[in-house]
Amino acid sequence: MTACGPVKGIWQLARSAQVYKASVTISAQGMVQIHSEDDGSLLQETPFAAVSYGDVIPGLPVDLVFADSSRFIPLDSRFRWPGMSARRTLPAWLEEHWLALFAAVLLVPAFVWLMVTRVVPAGADLAAVWLPDSVGEELGQQSLTLLDASYMTPSALTGEQQQPIRQRWQQLLAQLQLNSDDYPLHFRRWNYGANAMALADGTIILTDDIVQLMARHPQQLDAVLLHELGHVEHKHGLKTLSRATAMSMLFAMMFGDIEGAGEMVLGLGTSFMQSAFSRDMEHEADHYALLSLQRLQRPGSDFADALLALQSSHETAVQECRGERSAEEKRAAGLFDYLRTHPDTSERIRIARNFSVPE
């Protein structure tokens, strides 16, 4: 037993307003004595085991509570009784650490949100930019192989139908001072409507339906191709893979499942094919298309009209199958660029119509 005192304070009798100026001493033998400050007389003596501490409230003294409910209140509000720290109560702890608690409740989710929405994607994008070109080549070729094996069939368009589109594409690339070998154009049949797609190696795929949809408006198809070119130039394929990898690593770390992280990364090859470009990437590709149209001295409305045509052809397609799509159809639709129901298509159209850059 640690000896303690004398500690000056006030002794308050139980169920009474009566108080005495007094001092408490705790002896090494474990006896608690209260002496009057007025005349030094012994007011109370009790074994330490029979007393308890009052609540710990920061800024207030801690009472010594006796078996008969009388209390001794120290004058010094910061005074703590022997062995007190181990007896801290939860409410007191909360009061003292409200700032830490506030941080835990508000800042931790804010931090996670920031990591998930900003830091990890930005870091992953940066990593994707530094990946060697061979990674993009490999990814693009794997994607095309997978698409051909499971989702697409050879185009039904004749060589004469394809030729003028290839020619326009090569002209566009030449005008933008890009090498046409880097952006091979492929035509494929696909059951779910008009669409276009860019792969990580620069390959661009047009479905037969989009060629037919825009047969009379080749400038709309050009605008679509420029949007796809934007995905390639901004490395959106690699960035999507890189973001997904980084995100599963983050979640693995957060939930402490580091072993599972490896499996997740391995599984990404297939899940990547089912994930679309993010909305910010779509806007970036739109912006690329609009800037390129401007360089080519063409109106942004070419792209707006293309979006409008795709939107209405998609709505017709949905109506034809009575709005019900199987999970497989939805997955197939998600692979491509435009058939996903973009919640912000009208916003994209508005931006395209009003696009202008100060000279």
Q: Does 222 engage in binding with Zn ion (CB under 5 A)?
A: no
DSSP E strand boundaries for 1-157: 4-12, 19-26, 31-36, 42-47, 52-53, 64-65, 71-74, 153-154
**313: how many CB neighbours lie within 10 A of its CB?**
20
Strands 42-47 and 204-207 come out as: unpaired
How many chain residues touch Zn ion (CB under 5 A)? 3
Q: Choose the stretch contacting Zn ion; rule: CB under 5 A; options: 114-122, 146-154, 252-260, 335-343.
A: 335-343
The rounded distance, in Å, linking the Cα atoms of 324 and 342 is 17
Instruction: Choose one: 207-215, 330-338, 340-348, 350-358; the region binding Zn ion (CB under 5 A).
Output: 330-338
Pick the closer one to Zn ion by CB: 201 or 282: 282
Q: Which of residues 303, 333, 337, 342 is near Zn ion by CB under 5 A?
A: 337
Q: Is 194 in the site for Zn ion (CB under 5 A)?
A: no
Least distance between Zn ion and beta carbon 281 (Å): 7
Task: Tell me the C-alpha distance between 234 and 141, whole Å.
Answer: 18
Q: Taking a C-beta distance cutoff of 8 angstroms, is the pair 238, 136 a contact?
A: yes
CA distance 350 to 308: 11
Q: Which CB sits closer to Zn ion, 205 or 285?
A: 285
Binding to Zn ion by CB under 5 A, coded x per residue (else -) over 272-301, reads ----------x--x----------------
- The answer to whether the bond into 6 is cis (omega within 30° of 0) is yes
- d(Cα 276, Cα 198) in Å, to the nearest integer? 11
Q: Rule CB under 5 A: is residue 221 a binding residue for Zn ion?
A: no
Q: What is the DSSP string of 322-338?
A: TT---HHHHHHHHHSSS
The contact mask relative to Zn ion for 66-95 (x = CB under 5 A, - = no) is: ------------------------------
Q: Give the integer Cα–Cα distance in Å for 201 and 132.
A: 11
Choice between 44 and 195, CB closer to Zn ion: 195
Nearer to Zn ion, 257 or 344 (CB): 344
Query: Is 233 among the residues that bind Zn ion (CB under 5 A)?
Result: no
Work out whether 196 is an interface residue with Zn ion (CB under 5 A): no
Enumerate binding residues for Zn ion (CB under 5 A).
282, 285, 337
